[in-house]
């Protein structure tokens, strides 16, 4: 079985379990613009999708400039919620220890996230991600990506590897579907905040993990 040579991470729901914080931010946003919180069905549809699509789901069609403005406002709400959490807002258990292994072994890795640039900057600063990743090579939602497929393509290019040599960590249904289109060497689902999803329905998913404890880099690369 082919061994992966590089690693691509999704971020939200994969490296940090922040469904609660995003739900609070979307509720604040929805209450402001339509007087009611976001329904659970809407959140399920929204998970893993770019903000522009989520805002259109909640408020309907609008101009590109208006959706960008509203997206920035919602994400500012999200960052404030995260800051208020203090130490309760942290990376998934076991992840920091796991990230030390590729760093020490010189294995290339980066992040492909549907988050916008101000959030990426916040994550890098808050979690000190520059210990493990080159911030300039992190791929984010810059408005040019229809889904995560092109984000993963750009992420692989950023670190100079082929997608078929990459291990991808994902959590959302839409993200996994996009990752499958990339035909990576390995695909691992992180299920900490999405235990209801039936990851086993995707034969391309090699393993489902709930956090990063008790998992070694060698084990995950060789699945």
Whichever domain contains 97, its CATH number is 3.40.50.1000
Give the tens place of pLDDT for each residue, 43-87: 888 776 778 889 999 999 999 899 989 989 999 999 999 999 999
Query: Is the same domain home to 63 and 124?
Result: no
Separation CA 74–CA 53 (nearest Å): 13
Whether residue 1 lies inside any domain: the answer is: no
Give me the number of domains the chain comprises.
2
- Kindly give the confidence (pLDDT) of every residue in the chain, 223 residues in length, as a single tens digit, with 9 standing for 90 and above: 578 999 999 999 999 999 899 899 999 999 999 999 999 888 888 776 778 889 999 999 999 899 989 989 999 999 999 999 999 999 999 999 999 999 889 899 999 998 889 999 999 999 999 999 999 999 998 888 888 999 999 999 999 999 999 999 999 888 999 999 999 999 999 987 556 567 878 889 999 999 999 888 888 888 7
Question: Token digits for 31?
Answer: 């209450």
Q: Is 126 helix (H, G, I), strand (E, B) or coil?
A: helix
Of 87, 108, 136, which residue constitutes the final position of a domain?
A: 87
Separation CA 41–CA 44 (nearest Å): 5
Domain of residue 108: give its range: 6-16+90-221
Query: Is the same domain home to 188 and 99?
Result: yes
């Amino acid at each position: 079985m082919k061994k992966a040579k590089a690693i691509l991470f999704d971020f939200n729901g994969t490296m940090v379990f922040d469904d609660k914080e995003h739900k609070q931010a979307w509720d604040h946003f929805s209450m402001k613009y339509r007087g009611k919180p976001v329904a659970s069905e809407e959140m399920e549809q929204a998970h893993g999708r770019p903000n522009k699509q989520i805002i259109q789901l909640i408020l309907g069609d609008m101009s590109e400039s208006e959706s960008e403005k509203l997206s920035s406002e919602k994400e500012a709400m999200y960052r404030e919620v995260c800051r208020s959490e203090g130490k309760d807002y942290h990376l998934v258990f076991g992840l920091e220890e796991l990230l030390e292994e590729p760093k020490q072994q010189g294995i290339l890795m980066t992040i492909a996230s549907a988050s916008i640039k101000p959030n990426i900057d916040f994550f890098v600063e808050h979690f000190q991600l520059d210990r493990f990743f080159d911030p300039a090579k992190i791929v984010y939602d810059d408005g040019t990506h229809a889904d995560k497929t092109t984000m993963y393509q750009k992420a692989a290019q950023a670190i100079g590897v082929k997608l078929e040599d990459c291990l991808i960590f994902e959590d959302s249904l839409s993200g996994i579907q996009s990752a499958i289109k990339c035909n990576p060497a390995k695909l691992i689902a992180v299920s900490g905040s999405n235990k209801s999803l039936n990851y086993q329905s995707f034969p391309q998913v090699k393993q489902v993990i709930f956090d990063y404890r008790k998992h070694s880099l060698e084990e995950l690369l060789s699945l």
